[in-house]
Amino acid sequence: MSEPSRFDRGHTDDLMTFLAASPSPYHAVANTAERLEKAGFRQVAETDAWDGTSGGKYVVRGGAIVAWYVPEGAAPHTPFRIVGAHTDSPNLRVKPLPDSGAHGWRQVAVEIYGGPLLNSWLDRDLGLAGRLTLRDGSTRLVNIDRPLLRVPQLAIHLDRAVSSEGLKLDKQRHLQPVWGLGDDVRDGDLIAFLEQESGLTAGEVSGWDLMVHSVEPPAYLGRDRELLAGPRMDNLLSVHAATAALTAVSGGGLPYIPVLAAFDHEENGSQSDTGADGPLLGGVLERSVFARGGSYEDKARAFAGTVCLSSDTGHAVHPNYAERHDPTHHPRINGGPILKVNVNNRYATDGSGRAVFAAACERADVPFQSFVSNNSMPCGTTIGPITAARHGIRTVDIGVAILSMHSARELCGADDPFLLANVLVAFLEG
């Protein structure tokens, strides 16, 4: 295999734009849908009858999106090639009663979502974004992308042991952000503020799904700008690459039906109607088969020939903590995508799946690396095992190696997103 070409800076620039514009899963889905529309895809409603026409289609449900392209003349039993990813990231999310405060400070009550690196949220300028549900049942995206909130750290003079014993944070007491001053904490202030910011009338909002985000934009880093620092790479990096790959392969004759499945709630177990452990993907694939005149037998044949790449970020070897990694598996930044393996099925990869991924990398002329956890460290997991078990689909866990996973600001190589997208194109093309 020859050396891959220098990464395409335009692709990485576009990833930075996507990350900055997607502070919540709902924004990520809206931005993905916009890109699909520009590529000729059309949205179909789950409540409508579906037809079997060829072309690109997609379904949106909350913070999840499933898109697929049916080539001209595709048979009902044509297998799928799926790239799976997730739209959510660990963060701080607003509670049902958001207005709080003490000692002259006005605060916003938040709950911990997923498993964030809590210290990474301290002393950052934070915005607020998410989804507002109005009284008529419609929804409105909101994004206050300017310094609005801050979780102030305790000064070292009041915690002398922090440098020797480490920072200790109580999730309930120490992570509540401030956003103003005042002794009179009035119920409804935050929502009233968001209504005003969104051009809504007072009392129009009856529900919300809101979360904080760092307003610091993504940026190239390093002497040679070979690194990329930014938020929510876990796992919007994969959503972006999969969207680019799907739109790149659509429009031609393909032996498979390429699919993008970007789920919500991976960071807390995937058990929701928009999570990988829910019915969304299976329902879409089945309806696609039946819309093309297929039977249960056709669906069974299609699923039997289907392969899914579960694409999520993984761990690059950390120069300051190399002992935490397996001594013979040290994925490097800008070394190409990683193949994730765990014999206890925390990842879904097996030998046959490895062969599928290796073949795609060879066709794309992209190197890949292998990742396995240190035996002394618990292994994380992905949507991969869930997808394999729920749908009986052969699934392979892959991704891009990064540092600072689950931080408010993560770090990857500037080459790797483009290399991943190239491999996904080769995979979807078959």
Residue 116, phi then psi, degrees to nearest 5:
-75, 155
DSSP structural state of residue 364: H
Query: d(Cα 388, Cα 270) in Å, to the nearest integer?
Result: 14
* Closest of 10, 8, 2 to residue 367, by C-alpha: 2
- What string of DSSP letters covers 181-205? E-S---TTHHHHHHHHHTTPPTT-E
Binding residues: 86, 157, 406
Count of residues making up the chain: 430
Phi-psi region of 328 (alpha: psi -120 to 50; beta: other; left: phi over 0): alpha
Look at the block and give the residue holding tokens 């995979």.
427
Residues 6+ apart with CB under 8 A from 171: 112, 118
Query: What is the crossing angle of helices 351-364 and 416-429, to 10°?
Result: 110
Helix, strand, coil percentages in the chain from 3-state DSSP, rounded to 5: 30, 30, 45
Binding residues for Zn(2+): 86, 157, 406
